Structure 1
Amino acid sequence: MGISDNRKQPAGKKSMALRAAWIIPNVLCYFLLIYIGIFVGKNAEGLEEINQLGIWLFMLIVMLMVSAFGTFRIVHWIKKGKL
């Protein structure tokens, strides 16, 4: 049964491997978000000198949105019984 199916899985057959396959990359996205935030924080002055601070801040914001959307989607699927 795929994620795009509209059918719910039986209560006893929730696949923990499928949940892990979605949750682990989401957690890694949060770690990457933290790492980029630390990098930008430590190197803001140097990045500003070479006019790259805006690009790094944009990547930081995009990474935050991707992580938040992934979390929202996973929680939504679990509540609906799809995951």
Structure 2
Amino acid sequence: MKNTKLRIVWIIPNVFCYLILFGLSVWVVVNGKVLQEFNTLYIYVIFMFLQLLVSVLGSYRIWTWIKEGKM
């Protein structure tokens, strides 16, 4: 474990990305019918997919940095 402060600086925003994804998913499920009536459900589904992509790629990048010994 090289630098724990650097790990924390990168991991905390990544955790918040997952929390945002979870909150957005719950909100879309609760308000799904209303969003479908206004034809905006697909936009929120695309945003959820993009947020998932950002979160997973961020986790992967942090994991590779740790494995390479940069963090």
Which TM-score applies when normalising by structure 2? 0.96
State whether structure 2 residue 47 is matched by structure 1 residue 59: yes
| Residue 15 (structure 1) shift | 1.6
Residue of structure 2 in register with 1:82 after alignment: 70
State whether structure 2 residue 28 is matched by structure 1 residue 48: no
- Structure showing greater radius of gyration is 1
Structure 2: 5+ residue stretches without partners: none
Structure 1: 5+ residue stretches without partners: 1-10
Q: Size of the alignment, in residue pairs?
A: 71
| Aligned Cα root-mean-square deviation (Å) | 0.9
Residue of structure 1 in register with 2:60 after alignment: 72
| Residue 45 (structure 1) shift | 0.3
Residue of structure 1 in register with 2:10 after alignment: 22
Q: Which amino acid aligns with 2:55?
A: S
Q: Which amino acid aligns with 1:23?
A: I
Q: Which amino acid aligns with 1:66?
A: V
Aligned structure 1 segments of 4 or more residues deviating by more than 2 angstroms:
none
Identity %: 42
Q: Please give the alpha-carbon distance, in whole angstroms, between the structure 2 residues aligned to 1:62 and 1:36.
A: 12
Question: What CA deviation, in whole Å up to 9, does each residue of 1:10-68 have, x standing for no partner?
Answer: x6xx2211100100000000000000000010111000111110100000000000000
